[in-house]
Structure 1
Amino acid sequence: MSEIILSVKDLTISFQTLDGKVSAVRGVNFDLKKGETLAIVGESGSGKSVSMKAINRVLPQKNTVYDQGEILYQGKNLLELSEREMEKIRGRKIAMIFQDPMTSLNPTMTVGKQIAESILIHEKMPKDKAMMEAIELMRLVGIRNPEESCKNYPHQFSGGMRQRVMIALSLACKPDILIADEPTTALDVTIQSQILDLIDDLKAKLNMSVIFITHDLGVVAHVADRVAVMYAGRIIEIGTAEEIFYNPQHPYTWGLICSMPSLDTKDASLYSIPGAPPNLLHMPKGDAFAPRNAYALAIDFEEEPPFFTVSASHAAATWLLHPDAPKVTPPPEIIRRQHIFNSFMKKDKGGEAYVGSHAASGR
């Protein structure tokens, strides 16, 4: 059994705003195993980034309220640590890559100095040795001629190369956990594939665990060992990548899969989940997805569903899994989309189907 390196238990987070209390994260639970990639997927506003930023305690302190829960790393609850104690973990043990490297990199410093500075903050060593380490990291992430490139500023790099710099910066202290928050969204589709392969290769070389945040199911299939699907601040289905793609149980997961474009479809229209996510200021009674759910039962509008076990590694929070629920057949579009994942899945990386499908989605 793989070692569990991180456990998030009943994490509940709200934001105090002028309009009232926003329930951003509601009772999130998951474990992260050593050496695995866990993908967190869902629409914008589902709570993916908030949950993961909470792990590194980088949410704004002024209006963030950790209502309840634990984030356990090496036997410590990160929510109970002081800021000084967190500084020893943030970046050194748990690192993050953000979506837009141009807003994360300092435009007034050379990239080599920025990477070396990260090393110096956490490691006691001479500056020249830190710069040598920075150059080796740049070489590791595939930046050509790193001895010269380290003297350049962020604006002198392409988008893909800036993201490689960000990855090098994140790996400066060889962290145990890397959190990647939609790191390929702004990139050309071909570069996306290269960055995904790079993160996967580095994970294997450095024996890291990776949490990958995305709304793109093609990315999920390409990198993930396990997948957690989030909706309205709550994980509503979790399982291995194969289970989520080939045996999805929650109607929201069905909708996400049906929304994925296929180059082979003869239908020019693209499916979209009807309606919109709920207002987190005023959560509806029962299941938050019920108003958008064509398969909703009467109980969905009264009680939030618990998790039902599908297998030892797969569970979903839907009343459709209750023993007394009527049998429901997933939409036929699910089957028509599943053939896409055969070429996407991690075992068969980098194929033309990966690039082609992303091109079709306009990402």
Structure 2
Amino acid sequence: MEKILEVKDLELSFHTFAGEVKAIRGVSFDLFKGETLAIVGESGSGKSVTTKAIMRLLPEHSSEFKNGHILFEGRDLTKLSDREMQKVRGKDISMIFQDPMTSLNPTMTIGKQIIEPILKHQKVGKAEAKKVAIDLLRMVGIPKPELRVKQYPHQFSGGQRQRIVIAIALACNPHILIADEPTTALDVTIQAQILELMKSLQKKIETSIIFITHDLGVVANVADRVAVMYGGRIVEVGTVDEIFYNPQHPYTWGLLSSMPSLDAKDEKLYAIPGTPPDLLDPPKGDAFALRSDYALKIDVEQEPPFFQVSDTHYAATWLLHPDAPQVEPPEQIIERMKKFPGSRYYSATTGGAN
């Protein structure tokens, strides 16, 4: 597959009154043409900071790139000037934010807000730009777009406003669309509609998507690959099936175990103990060690490297070291692994049951 974005060894800090917050600590991942990469993790894991770093939307006076590169079409985005980045934002890389009301200008018609990036990045007149805006509204499912293009954000429902934000993001046919928890503020029915819309639009315009979420149920519906983040690092990456049905990192086990299930026999829902680490003073070894029931002695002394599980699956846990003791994952995770042919718990002769 053709690689469209490459993040390499990215380190980013925030300078605060309390000290230096090491928010991103050696993050690396690739995004391929036409795929959806989901980045998941608890609040504070570094998901949104990573994508805002790609867009260069972090405050320059308090944030600093300490190391690494963000390579897009042969250019390192960390090295571009503000003027050069203005040509990338909206045209090549667009972003959908969580709350559409904070993304839309309440004093401007939605037509003007869609037309603005078209006029800025494409060589078309106002009449042609308005026609494109109407076509975009129709494409994202806004009824009577010829009339509604003249209306203001408060005249639309929450789901319709999110559709308008998507239309603005797609106005210049970007190569990459970053969606930062775009359905969190919506009810379940509208959420499903927006996710279905994004999947259909991706096929039409052949864009690549980075989808940020803490909702693993959403990930299962939209992602091709998944990167799991914790404590400013990526701790596991693989295809959506590998992460859901053959997870290797104890943190991924915890996230999956805490998902509500209609098949659950126990009424009590699992919760990962403890809280994420303080990145003013990051832990020395595996950041998840203090919250893990599976931590080894080396976990608090030395940061684990990535171990290869398959050609597409990697996890940063000492449990995958050849000399590590073999531990049994939680029962919920074993039940998942029984369904995955590459898992040690899978048995083809018994139809997946071991």
Residue 348 (structure 2) aligns with: none
1:70 Cα deviation from its structure 2 partner? 0.3
Secondary structure of 1:95's aligned partner? strand
* Alignment of 1:178 onto 2:204: no
* Alignment of 1:302 onto 2:315: no
CA contact (8 A) 2:25 2:232 kept: yes
1:124 Cα deviation from its structure 2 partner? 2.2
Assess, with a 3 A threshold, how the Cα gap between structure 1 residues 197 and 80 changes in structure 2: closer, same or farther: same
Residue 138 (structure 1) aligns with: 137
1:212 Cα deviation from its structure 2 partner? 0.2
Q: Percent identity?
A: 67
Aligned pairs (5 A) from 1:252-331: 252-331=251-330
Residue 192 (structure 1) aligns with: 191
| C-alpha distance in structure 1 between counterparts of 2:7 and 2:230, whole Å | 17
- Code of the residue aligned with 2:130 in structure 1: it is M
Residue 152 (structure 1) aligns with: 151
| C-alpha distance in structure 2 between counterparts of 1:334 and 1:112, whole Å | 48
| C-alpha distance in structure 2 between counterparts of 1:62 and 1:311, whole Å | 42
CA contact (8 A) 1:287 1:300 kept: yes
Give the TM-score taking structure 1 as reference length: 0.92
- Code of the residue aligned with 1:333 in structure 2: it is Q
Residue 63 (structure 2) aligns with: 64
Secondary structure of 2:309's aligned partner? strand
1:335 Cα deviation from its structure 2 partner? 4.2
- Code of the residue aligned with 1:89 in structure 2: it is V
| C-alpha distance in structure 2 between counterparts of 1:120 and 1:75, whole Å | 26
Secondary structure of 2:298's aligned partner? helix
Secondary structure of 1:88's aligned partner? helix
CA contact (8 A) 2:244 2:336 kept: no
CA contact (8 A) 1:238 1:244 kept: yes
Assess, with a 3 A threshold, how the Cα gap between structure 1 residues 243 and 88 changes in structure 2: closer, same or farther: same
- Code of the residue aligned with 1:198 in structure 2: it is L
1:338 Cα deviation from its structure 2 partner? 7.5
Moved over 2 A (4+): 335-341
Aligned pairs (5 A) from 1:35-184: 35-184=34-183
Deviation by residue 1:52-82 (Cα, 9 ceiling, x = unmatched): 1111101111100100000000101011111
* Alignment of 1:240 onto 2:239: yes
1:126 Cα deviation from its structure 2 partner? 1.3
1:340 Cα deviation from its structure 2 partner? 11
Give the TM-score taking structure 2 as reference length: 0.94
CA contact (8 A) 2:40 2:229 kept: yes
Residue 215 (structure 1) aligns with: 214
- Code of the residue aligned with 1:158 in structure 2: it is S
In structure 2, the gaps of 5 or more residues are 341-354
Assess, with a 3 A threshold, how the Cα gap between structure 1 residues 340 and 205 changes in structure 2: closer, same or farther: farther
Q: May I ask how many residue pairs the two structures share in their alignment?
A: 340
- Code of the residue aligned with 2:274 in structure 1: it is G
Query: Over aligned residue pairs, what C-alpha RMSD do you find?
Result: 1.3
- Code of the residue aligned with 1:42 in structure 2: it is G
CA contact (8 A) 1:258 1:337 kept: no
1:264 Cα deviation from its structure 2 partner? 2.4
